[in-house]
Amino acid sequence: MTIPYRLLLRETACRVLLASGTDAGEKVFTARSMPSEAKQLPQIVLQVPIDRGESFGRAAPGFRRVAYLVAVGKVSHSSAEKTELALDRLGSQIEYALMQSPALQGMIQQVTEIDLRVQIDASGETFLGMVTVRLGLEYIEYFELTGLPLAEIDGKMSANGNDDFADLRVTFPNQ
């Protein structure tokens, strides 16, 4: 089975963040949906929830795609100020690690957008903070056609009411 390119981008981003020395350390995850406890923070979770493609036309199935890589960093501190400072730091670490990575940047055409959002929850005993860094990663993808290759086209042409005007046969070389 072929691995979708968006997942290769996500896994590369994970390796980049693990190697870059963010405040999350080794707590960088992909495909994680379970809740986090304050003692497990800081951490980063990566997903690609959206991957859009625009067709190049009616020829072979090729697309200019944008995979939206979302990195969610979570922190916990005893005050809103410490939480916000930690979020600013972690968000910057995520953004710069991904934007300055030759491994990730070499896999794409361009970064189409960067969106960074910060959120703090003060409803519990400690302040929980979340920074969401979303990058639009543009890449080109062609799908290989499966099945038997086209070998020949046969046809009949008609003109001016003559239904048997000419025959047509195009033979393609073996590939």
pLDDT at 34 > cutoff 70: no
Predicted pLDDT at 124: 77
pLDDT at 130 > cutoff 90: yes
Predicted pLDDT at 43: 94
pLDDT digits (tens, 9 = 90+) for 5-32: 999 999 999 999 999 999 999 999 997 6
Residue 63 and residue 55 in contact, taking contact as beta carbons nearer than 8 Å: yes
Residues sharing a CB contact under 8 Å with residue 162, sequence separation 6 or more, in sequence order: none
pLDDT at 42 > cutoff 80: yes
Mean pLDDT of the chain: 90
Residue 27 and residue 61 in contact, taking contact as beta carbons nearer than 8 Å: no
| Domains of the chain as residue ranges with CATH | 5-148 (3.30.2000.10)
pLDDT digits (tens, 9 = 90+) for 58-103: 877 899 999 999 999 999 999 989 999 999 999 999 999 999 999 9
Percentage of the chain exceeding pLDDT 70:
97
Predicted pLDDT at 57: 86
Residues sharing a CB contact under 8 Å with residue 142, sequence separation 6 or more, in sequence order: 60, 61, 62, 63
> Whole-prediction pTM value?
0.80
Residue 71 and residue 49 in contact, taking contact as beta carbons nearer than 8 Å: no
Predicted pLDDT at 157: 83
Can you tell me the distance from the alpha carbon of 29 to that of 44, in angstroms, rounded to the nearest whole number? 6
DSSP codes of every residue in 26-71:
T-EEES--S---GGG-SEEEEEEEEEEEEE--SSS-EEEEEEEEEE
